[in-house]
């Protein structure tokens, strides 16, 4: 009926041709998004953080396919009210195949934590993913378990680091190697902002490095106060020694250069994690391999 009316209009008024052409060339409606669907029976989703993920602030969406149908996973987004945005695939656009009876880890990048105002809603990770199974595709949204319990401590540490940033910034800014048998020196710079108050209490030993005779209760004492009005950086020389010399400890190192730093903020004790950075990590691991007398740790 719509086309017949247009033909009549063209015979009477030539300009109506423009209107008909416009009507016939409109963009087709957008394809609807995949409907919400349930994952196939036997599929379980978790979120975990492995040692290699810590320095990069990444995590893994661990998908276990306990069913009898192969599963393909496309887009992945992890929503959690403790973060400012969803965590998404590190390698965007990838598809992961989870064979029946198999499992796969999909690496995601964690966004900044949400600290102030306090995050609203329940603090639990919800994973939304697109999938294909038995020729049918869908989008599922499931609550994911956190079997290693890493999310709450990570949120607490990073919010504490954010609060510390009001008073000072901390960074490892240099490394001075030493001959075998002697401690090397790791330089920690505390830069006050002039606005806040805190105490940097101590640096804790790692699974690879300690402080030799200077170790007290598993840490190197600092007790550096930061008060309002302070702006001059303070550089602390931290002596470090390898706490072990088995080659695989260096070659497979994941957390040996990530230090826990003890703090006091507003009279409340706590800790943050402080990574030396990739450049200093390489220097330290090379030094450890030489100090211990085996080949460099790649």
The per-residue pLDDT for 297 is 43
Q: Which residue has the higher pLDDT, 32 or 17?
A: 32
Looking at the predicted structure, is the pLDDT value of residue 36 above 90? no
8 confidence band (pLDDT: 50, 70, 90) = very low
| Cβ neighbours around 66 below 10 Å, total | 13
Give the phi and the psi of residue 65 in degrees, each rounded to 5: -100, 95
pLDDT value at residue 294: 84
Greatest CA separation for the chain: 102
154: closest CA among 82, 50, 213? 82
pLDDT of residue 139: 95
Q: CA-to-CA distance for 17 and 15, rounded, in angstroms?
A: 5
CA dihedral 160, 162, 164, 167 (to 10 degrees): -160
Is-cis flag, bond preceding 117, omega within 30? yes
DSSP 8-state code for residue 84? S
pLDDT at 274: 96
Got the DSSP string for 146-196? -TT--HHHHHHHHHHHHHHTTTEEEEEEEEE---TTS-EEEEEEEEE-SS-
Average pLDDT over residues 110-135: 82
- What would the pLDDT profile of 213-264 be if each residue is shown by its tens digit? 999 999 999 999 999 999 999 999 999 999 999 888 888 888 899 999 999 9
Q: Is the pLDDT of residue 3 over 80?
A: no
Q: What is the dihedral of CA 226, 227, 228, 230, to 10 degrees?
A: -60
297: which residues sit within 8 A by CB, 6+ positions away?
247, 250, 251, 253, 285, 286, 288, 289
Per-residue CA distances from 93 to 79, 88, 96 (Å): 19, 10, 10
Query: Where do the DSSP E strands lie in 14-147?
Result: 43-48, 58-65, 71-79, 87-89, 96-98, 103-109, 126-133, 136-143
Closest CA to 207 of 235, 240, 239, 170: 240
Residue 186 pLDDT greater than 50, yes or no: yes
**pLDDT per residue over 192-203, tens digit each?**
999 999 999 999
* pLDDT attached to residue 124: 85
Segment among 23-27, 140-144, 180-184, 225-229 with least mean pLDDT: 23-27
Tallying the residues shown for the chain, one arrives at 298
Report the distance separating Cα 216 and Cα 94, nearest Å.
Answer: 48
> What's the DSSP call for residue 36?
B
């Amino acid at each position: 009926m719509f086309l017949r009316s247009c033909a009549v209009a063209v015979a009477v008024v030539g300009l109506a041709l423009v209107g008909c052409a416009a009507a016939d060339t409109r963009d087709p409606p957008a394809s609807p998004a995949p409907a919400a669907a349930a994952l196939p029976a036997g599929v379980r989703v978790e979120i975990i953080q492995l040692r290699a993920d810590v320095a990069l602030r990444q995590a893994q969406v661990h998908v276990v396919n306990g069913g009898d149908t192969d599963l393909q996973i496309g887009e992945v987004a992890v929503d959690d009210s403790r973060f400012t945005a969803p965590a998404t695939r590190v390698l965007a656009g990838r598809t992961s195949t989870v064979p029946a009876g198999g499992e796969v880890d999909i690496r995601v990048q964690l966004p900044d934590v949400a600290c102030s105002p306090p995050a609203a809603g329940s603090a639990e990770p919800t994973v939304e993913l697109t999938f294909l199974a038995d020729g049918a595709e869908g989008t599922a949204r499931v609550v994911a378990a956190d079997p290693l319990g890493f999310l709450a401590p990570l949120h607490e540490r990073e919010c504490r680091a954010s609060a510390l940033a009001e008073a000072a910034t901390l960074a490892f800014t240099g490394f001075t190697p030493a001959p075998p048998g002697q401690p090397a020196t790791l330089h920690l710079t505390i830069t006050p902002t002039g606005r806040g108050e805190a105490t940097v209490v101590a640096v804790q030993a790692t699974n690879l490095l300690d402080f030799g005779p200077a170790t007290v209760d598993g840490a190197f004492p600092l007790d550096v106060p930061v008060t309002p009005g302070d702006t001059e950086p303070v550089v602390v020389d931290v002596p470090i020694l390898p706490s072990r010399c088995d080659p695989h400890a260096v070659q497979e190192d994941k957390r040996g250069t990530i230090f826990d730093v003890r703090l006091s903020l507003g009279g409340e004790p706590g800790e943050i994690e402080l990574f030396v950075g990739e450049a200093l990590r390489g220097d330290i691991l090379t030094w450890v391999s030489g100090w211990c007398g085996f080949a460099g740790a790649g």
